[in-house]
């Protein structure tokens, strides 16, 4: 009788790192990692050797020195005696501000233009095509300069608002449009104002909760609840009621002409407006194409079936087409948001003090710390880009098609 036994286990040999398929991929990855480490070490050693030869060293102590320059558009307190670190913080906040505003407005422009481009109305469809082709085929820097030029050359100067018969007047007595920017009323927070703010935030949450409840009820039972007036009622009524209950604790600081310029209120500078609108309309043209592609990716049978059930075109678009089109729209939308953030570095062309203009511009030139400033700039844009990608990827997972 023959007895079958397992073959003897082969001992490990160095030649197996290349000849054995079990170890070959690991060997190549280890070699690539080692080569990368050696290359980085060589470049770092070369950098420090050259810096030592020039009598330089890498230090971030300059961040604590006085900046020595002013910044017009800022969200926090700052003056020329503030540190370079605070100037960089002002630039970071300005970058985030214009990127946030541009992302919202570009999305609005893109969704509207993408939907209207599929309109059966020939004129509307061609107008949207004209918008897309004109704005996406001209560099965004040119649009920034065009809008900034229009703002500074066409809008009236503050002195035009002076006199018994002024050449220009304020809109509703509270909004002034000048070549230096737009002046709007600023809120004055009194005792109890935070209660009103908390009520407002709760109202916004309530609107989303109601719309989610109505949508789930429609999907589960087919019962259709009104969306428009209940949402407006939840949004406005609780806040207005709480405002009067608390004795109207929130006032307004109306801008007034004093001296050579307006005082009070909030100033939205011309550079911010030019950068904001240029990024929005430029990127909105790309988003419009993504929206159009997403809508066309949904089968026409879906639309016809929804219409056969009695849904009017608006609800067919909101409840049937757009939720499915989002699966196609969201991934490229992430790239457009990243491009808006990075293109905001063009702000230096119109004098807007973003992080590139402050840390990578004036601070770098004054201190001569080019390596430190560039490393900090790279770190900032890397963190912001990865954060936007992470947030949008989480949202993308929530709208993906869920298999049952």
Domain membership flag for residue 244: no
Domain membership flag for residue 23: no
Q: Determine the pLDDT at residue 260.
A: 79
Least confident piece of the model among 108-112, 308-312, 381-385: 308-312
Q: Determine the pLDDT at residue 348.
A: 85
Q: Determine the pLDDT at residue 7.
A: 64
Interhelix angle 84-116/370-399, nearest 10 degrees: 40
Q: Which residue has better confidence, 6 or 190?
A: 190
Domain membership flag for residue 104: yes
108 is in which domain, residue-wise?
Answer: 84-164+274-399
Look up the CATH number of the domain holding residue 306: 1.10.3720.10
Q: Determine the pLDDT at residue 237.
A: 92
C-alpha Rg value of the chain to the nearest Å? 29
- Whether 404 has a pLDDT exceeding 60, the answer reads no
Kindly state the average pLDDT of the residues 52-69: 86
Domain membership flag for residue 309: yes
Q: Determine the pLDDT at residue 401.
A: 63
Q: Determine the pLDDT at residue 162.
A: 82
Neighbours of 209 (CB within 10 A): 12
Domain membership flag for residue 259: no
Q: Determine the pLDDT at residue 6.
A: 64
Q: Which of the four pLDDT bands, split at 50, 70 and 90, describes residue 83?
A: very high
- Whether 255 has a pLDDT exceeding 60, the answer reads yes
Q: Which residue has better confidence, 344 or 165?
A: 344
Q: Which of the four pLDDT bands, split at 50, 70 and 90, describes residue 277?
A: very high
| Structural domains counted in the chain | 1
The string of pLDDT tens digits covering residues 300-335 is 888 888 888 877 777 788 778 888 888 888 888 888
Question: How far does Cα 60 stand from its chain's mean position?
Answer: 29
Distance CA 80, CA 358 (A): 12
Domain membership flag for residue 330: yes
Q: Which residue has better confidence, 6 or 360?
A: 360
Who contacts 52 (Cβ-Cβ below 8 Å, separation ≥6)?
Answer: none
Q: Determine the pLDDT at residue 381.
A: 92
């Amino acid at each position: 009788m023959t007895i079958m036994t397992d073959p003897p286990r082969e001992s490990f040999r160095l030649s197996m790192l290349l000849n054995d398929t079990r170890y070959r991929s690991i060997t190549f990855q280890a070699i690539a990692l080692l080569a990368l480490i050696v290359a980085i070490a060589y470049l770092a050693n070369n950098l420090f050797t050259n810096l030592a030869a020039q009598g330089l060293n890498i230090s971030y102590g300059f961040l604590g020195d006085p900046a020595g320059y002013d910044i017009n558009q800022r969200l926090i307190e700052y003056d020329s005696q503030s540190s370079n670190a605070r100037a960089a913080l002002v630039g970071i906040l300005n970058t985030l501000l214009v990127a946030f505003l541009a992302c919202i407005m570009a999305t609005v422009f893109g969704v509207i233009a993408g939907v209207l481009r599929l309109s059966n109305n020939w004129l509307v469809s061609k107008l949207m095509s004209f918008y897309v082709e004109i704005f996406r085929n001209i560099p965004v820097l040119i649009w920034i300069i065009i809008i900034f030029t229009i703002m500074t050359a066409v809008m009236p100067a503050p002195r035009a608002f002076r006199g018994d018969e002024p050449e220009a007047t304020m809109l509703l007595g509270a909004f002034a449009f000048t070549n230096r920017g737009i002046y709007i009323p600023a809120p004055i927070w009194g005792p109890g104002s935070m209660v009103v703010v908390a009520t407002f935030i709760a109202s916004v949450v309530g609107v989303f909760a109601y719309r989610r409840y109505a949508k789930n009820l429609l999907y589960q039972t087919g019962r259709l609840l009104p969306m428009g007036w209940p949402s407006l009622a939840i949004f406005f009524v609780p806040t207005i009621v709480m405002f009067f209950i608390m004795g109207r604790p929130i006032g307004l600081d109306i801008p007034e002409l004093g001296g050579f310029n307006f005082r009070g209120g909030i100033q939205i500078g011309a550079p911010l407006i030019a950068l904001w609108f240029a990024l929005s309309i430029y990127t909105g043209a790309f988003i419009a194409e993504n929206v159009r592609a997403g809508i066309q990716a949904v089968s026409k049978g879906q639309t016809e079936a929804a219409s056969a059930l009695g849904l009017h075109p608006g609800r067919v678009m909101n409840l049937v087409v757009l939720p499915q089109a989002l699966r196609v729209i969201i991934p490229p939308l992430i790239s457009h948001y990243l491009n808006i953030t990075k293109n905001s570095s063009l702000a230096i062309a119109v004098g807007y003090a973003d992080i590139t203009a402050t840390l990578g511009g004036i601070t770098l030139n004054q201190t001569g710390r080019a390596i430190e400033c560039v490393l900090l700039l790279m770190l900032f844009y890397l963190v912001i880009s990865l954060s936007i990608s992470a947030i949008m990827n989480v949202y993308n997972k929530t709208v993906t098609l869920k298999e049952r």
